[in-house]
Each structure stands twice: as C-alpha cells, then as structure tokens.
Chains A and B, each alone.
Chain A
Amino acid sequence: MIGRALVFLALLPLSALAQIQLVQFDGVNENPVGTTYSVGTAAPGDTLPTRFRVRNTGTALATLQTLSLAGTGFQITSAPALPYIIAPGSEAEFDVAFSPQLTGSYSAFLSVNTITVTLKGTSAPDASLMLAGSAAPLMTASVVNFGSVAEGSTQLQAFMLFNAGSGSVTVNTLTVSGVGFHGPIGLAAPVQLAAGQTATFQVAFEPQSATPAQGILTLDQRAFNLQGQGIAPQPSGASIAFASMLFGSAQQNSVSIALASPSLANVTDWTLQLSFQPASGLPDDPAILFLSGMPRLAPVTFSVGSATATIGGEPSITFQTGTTAGTILFTLQRGDKTIVQQASVPIAPGPISFDTAASVRKFNELDVSVAGFDNTYSASELAFTFYDTKGNTVPPGAISVNASSDFQQYFAATQQGGMFALLAKFPVTGDTTQILSVDIQATNSAGVTTASKVPIGN
C-alpha cells in the first residue's frame, strides 16, 4: 500500500505535492506552532501533556517519516508508527509530555520531517495534586470523573495538595468552575505548604439536570478536568410488600412497591423480576409467574410526588406461587441494573394437598378421582378405605398401593409443577349401592393427607 502510494506521488505534477503543517490541538481547536512553542508550567514531579497534529494541507498523500525529540524533561508519549501516510486534508497526532524533576526552565528540539520546533517549559515550585487515598500526582489536564449522580444528590471528591519540594510553596489560585461543581470545600487560596506538608480539600458535584456535566479545577497555572453524569433522582427507601404473608403453594398473591418518601422524579426504567429457586432436586415450575404482562419481568414506574409504584401499569401485580417447594425471589432493579431491594417468598415442602376428591358408583366398579398437588414430587403410598351404609369398613379394608414409580414417571414427563389428577378404579363384587363413602389417604416425604368420608355419587 505504501509502495503504491509513493509511486502515485512520483507521478503527480509539482503543484500537487504534499505539504505538512504542525499545529497544537487542545481538544477543540488547532493552534499554530512557530519555531518555538511554550508548553506551559509544571511543578517538579508533575506532568504536563501537549498534543500535536501533523496536518497534510496539500493535495497529495504525505508521509510522516521523521518524528524526534531531544531535550531533558520532554518526551514523546504516543505517536503513530513511522513511516505514516497522511491523506490530503487529514492529520496524524502525537503527544509530548513535559515532566520536570527540578524547578527551572527547560527546552527541547522537536523534529517533524523538515520542521524543527523548540519546545519550552517552565518548572516552578508548586504543590502536587492527588486524589485522596492515591499516591500518584494528577497530570495537568487529567480527568477526574465523579460518576453518575442523581439530581438533588451530592457526590464529594477529596483531593490532597502535597509539597514534594525542599522549600515552601504557595498555591495562589485554587478554584472550581463549571455548572454543578462546587469548591474548594475546606481550603482556600492562598495556601502555603512547607516542604513535605499536605493540605486537603473537597469538590462537590451536584448535578442540576440529568445530563453530562463538565468543570475545571484550577491550581495556579494548571487546570484539571472535572466530569460527572447527572441522572434523574432515584427513589429511595423502596420496599416490596405482599398482600398476604401466609405463603404456600397454589396461591395467588400480589406484590406492591412503596417508597419511604414521594418520588422526586418520574422514573420509568426500574423492573421487578421474579425468579424461582426450587428445593433441592426439583425442577422449575412454569406456573410461578406474574399473571399480567411478561411471565417473570414487570416494568416499575414512579411518578413525581407519589410514594407508590405502578407495576405493569397497576398499583400491584398478581402472581402465582406454583406447586413446587422452593423460594420465589422478587428483585427490584434500577435501570442501571443496581439491585434496590429483594424479597423472598418461601414455599415450604408440604403434605399432598387435595383440591377435589370425588367418587362415582358404576356397575361393578367404583371410580375415585383426586386432583391436587405434591410440592415435593415424592408421592408414594395411596390408601383407600370404603364404608358401607352402616359406616362399617368394606372388606378387605384399607387398600394400599405404592404409586411412587407412577408419580415419578408422571412428574418427569410433564411440566405441570407438582399438580396431578388421579383416577383409581375398583372392581366390586356385589351391590355397589351398599358402599356409601371412601377415605382417601396419600403420603409423601412431608406427611400424610386424608380426605375422609368422600361420598360416592351416582
């Protein structure tokens, strides 16, 4: 590619030759660079970065072939690999750092192809600036990010001034500017620091809108960038409440969300997530879900001045507890996925529950049907005891069957949670009208359930 470009360059007429220009780029504007350029002032131990651009102002490709710097206190910290082809109108960037170790005047020779510039810098005694808790001085023009802060809230950042020199220094200017940024708090210029002495102060970020914010911390001739992101004020003191605290299987319950104080903003990006952690060895239960909207995720919104949320557009949302033992977990999340609150609904293992139990008399046969659930999936023995018109047990008495394998196969083959419907048929010798009722008993790992004297219908 480079070879082709060079051949192309050779074929161009003289008027189309490449032409490069060196400029300084401050992040917004390009500033001309003459034969000398002053990068500014830095305290001993500090670093002052300067970004340059090599711009191709010609109409043909240009090649950046030479980029060098000679002199104490200066160094090139980033640059493209050479040779570097610059298209017409385009540019290449490189950074120079001025890092004086002692006070005094510094200079260095910068060569860019045929352009030579004398860089100058001054090092005057001044305090180093550090973030509290950090031992590394901040570079001039470096960025201090306050993160995301809600409107109405304040994020404080502590700074420390440190005199690393052998003599005393005086900080004459210490200011904070920028909408939403306030300070310095706890310290005011002028600040005199003896050798090795420190002083601390804070800068506050109080966003006034849900937008990005920028500010400047000025320390004598040095400027440091302050950044923060204002976000809508987040409701606080959110709590999850249930309509009923009597938790169990096969229930419909509802959940609502309340705030400790009215919301200061319209908030529309929170969610309430439902998840289920089944008891050991048990599967998930498809019946555990919200009854409106998406099965296990509901949007949560707060309106200004309201201390209650709407969930899926309603003051509360109804859910089913299923028929599997375990724990139903509700997680309230902010839009940034921060978990605000969690609440769990324990579903304890229980004996088999009968929803309906019935029996029907047929010719030479009695049919017993049961619908219910076993939230442990461990149903085992079933027992049926029939009674005659006088209340006596019909021979042979209690009829038991171990249905464990039948239930295991059923639960493994279906995805209905612990729900089941069972039909047992009993051939009868004699007059079935003489049998009036039946006791139905079912056993699982949590206990025994009995439906007594279930009448036998026709």
Chain B
Amino acid sequence: MKTSLAALSFAALSAWAQTAIAPPQVGFIQDQLGSFRQISGLAGNFIMGAPAATSVISATFSGSFGLVKTNPAILVTDAEGHLVTSASAPSGPALFAFSANGQPALVYLISSQALLQWNGSAFVPIPLDSAAIAADTLWSIAAPDPDHAAFLVERRDGLWTVRVLLTTGEMDSQSALPGLKTPALMLANGDVVSTETQGLVISASDGSEVHLAAQLPRGFSLQQIGDGWLQLRDLSQHHDVAVRVLKNHEGLYALPAVSQ
C-alpha cells in the first residue's frame, strides 16, 4: 500500500496544553520551602511556577502524574498538579515508583515499612516480606514490570537491587551493583543514577555509563521531577540541581531559588 501524508494539523501538545504551541514543561519539584512546585523551561533556562501543594515531605513527578507525601496523606496529582485523589497515610517520608509510561505504580511508606500499589483509582496494600529488603538504607523503589517491585538497598557490602514479587511480597531475585555509590536512584527504565567522587553516573541496564561531572553537596537526595528530569535536592545549602537523564541530552543545571 502506498503511504502518504494528509494535511498538517496542530493538536494539543499534552494534557497541559490546549493549543499546539505551549510552554515547555519540566515538571514539578519539591522546593526548599516544602512546596510541590511547577517548573517550566528548557535545559539551563527554568522558570518556577506556583506551588500545587505545601507541607510536602516527599514528592516525585513522572511528566504525567505526581505523587506527594504530606504528613497525613499520599496525594496523586495530574499533569497540571491538580489533585486526582488522596489517601490517609502515617507520618514520615515515602519512596515512589512510576510505571514505564509514567502512571503511578508503587508507594513505600518508610515509617510503617508498608508497600502500596496503585490500581488506577486507589492504593492497595501489598504483603511484603520485610526481611527480603533488610538493609542499612533503602534508597529507591521502582516498578520494572507490572508484577514486580524493585528496591535499591545499601548493605554493608554495597548497593543491591532486590526484586519482590507483588503477588506474594517475597523476594524474587537480587543482584549486586558493584562500584555504585549512594545517594542513588533507580529509574522506571531500570537505569540507576548513583554518586561518584567527581559527580553523578547514569548506569544503563545495557552496561553503558554516562558520567556527569559536578561538585556535589555534602548531603543530597535524588528524585524524579519530570520525564527525563531528576532533582538533586541539596539538604544543607539549598542549591538544588536539575539532572537531565534523557539519553544523549544528559546534563546538570542549577535550579532557580524560590522566594517566600
């Protein structure tokens, strides 16, 4: 069959935009004031928007959905930061995971060691063998496929990936990640962003690595803030950094400060 193109037409860029041309969006960050704040722009050219939520303890954004932890609740937001649903949760921070297409997938509540799975409308508790993920520090969770949760754990002998079967909560497999240092974050595609002396390193599941030179702050955390974007959250000096992990566009960029 001969292939041909019909007339050009513009359509909505994403759920954010109603017109064909729209401001480019990075996503949402957890700012130093504890707000879940929209950020638009391009690499090296950011504009901070209005906060969508305040008193935030933990937060992440996939590009399509946001997951926010406040002291009494877990919030799910849409691409514009509007609340989709909320669920009560014990106080304290949480770890989040999105599916490969950016849908909410998993929430791990650190204080109660509870794993919750998003079923499309609510969070469902998953039985979890806590011994399976016993570790000095639990850094990150991911949803590598619909049947598994992956935990990035730091043990005395280094960093490990532990896969847990969601149907039983039992460990399915585990593998060491030799040479990788923390803080570290596992992405939905299986890549791991970890720390090295001279900066960050993105380790892909195919074994390739991309090194991003940077003078890292003394204490920081990593969290996803958009499609292809992470936030390096400075825990002391408030000099946050945007980490671009989009393949062939990797880079580090300073984030603008936010005012009261």
Contact = CB atoms under 8 A, between A and B. Distances in A.
Interface stretch (B13-21, B81-89, B100-108): B13-21
Interface string A356-370: 100000000011010
B204 interface: no
B3 interface: yes
A318 B239 CA distance: 11
Contact of A291 (B3, B12, B17, B254): B254
B23 A421 contact: yes
B72 to A, nearest CB: 33
A366 B182 CA distance: 41
Interface stretch (B40-48, B59-67, B117-125, B184-192): B40-48
Contacts of B19: 406, 410
Given A287-B41, A421-B24, A422-B21, A431 B256 contact: no
Interface residues of B, number: 40
Q: How large is the interface on A (under 10, 10 to 19, 20 to 34, 35 or more residues)?
A: 35 or more
Interface string A338-373: 000000000000000001100000000011010111
B21 A421 contact: yes
A174 B10 CA distance: 89
Interface stretch (A51-59, A188-196, A218-226, A388-396): A388-396
Nearest to B3: A430
Interface string B245-260: 0100100011111010
A356 B244 CA distance: 12
B255 A423 contact: no
User: Dominant SS at the B interface?
Assistant: loop
B131 interface: no
Interface in A223-259: 249-252
Nearest to A385: B5
A328 interface: no
A427 B43 CA distance: 31
A320 B8 contact: no
Please indicate which of the listed interface residues A286, A292, A388 has the most CB atoms of chain B within 10 Å of its own CB. A292
A323 interface: yes
A428 B20 contact: no
A65 B256 CA distance: 71
Contacts of B22: 410, 420-421
A251 B249 CA distance: 15
B13 A250 contact: no
Given A371-B42, A414-B23, A423 B12 contact: yes
Contacts of A372: 42
A330 interface: no
Given A289-B256, A318-B254, A421-B21, A428 B9 contact: no
B1 A252 contact: no
B241 to A, nearest CB: 10
B167 interface: no
A422 B257 contact: no
Central interface residue in B8, B13, B259, by most chain A CB within 10 Å: B8
Contacts of B11: 367, 423-425
Interface in A424-447: 424-432, 434-435
Contact of B17 (A323, A406, A421, A426): A421
A417 interface: yes
Given A414-B23, A432-B3, A424 B8 contact: yes
Given A427-B6, A428-B5, A431-B1, A287 B45 contact: yes
A162 interface: no
B25 interface: yes
Given A287-B47, A420-B23, 19 more contacts: A249-B45, A250-B42, A252-B253, A287-B46, A295-B256, A395-B2, A399-B8, A406-B20, A416-B24, A420-B21, A420-B22, A422-B10, A423-B12, A423-B14, A424-B10, A424-B11, A427-B7, A428-B3, A428-B6
Which 7 interchain pairs have the tightest Cβ spacing?
A: A430-B3, A427-B6, A423-B13, A421-B24, A250-B45, A410-B21, A425-B11
17 contacts: A250-B44, A252-B253, A355-B24, A395-B4, A396-B4, A407-B21, A416-B47, A421-B21, A424-B8, A425-B10, A425-B11, A426-B5, A426-B6, A426-B9, A427-B6, A428-B4, A429-B3
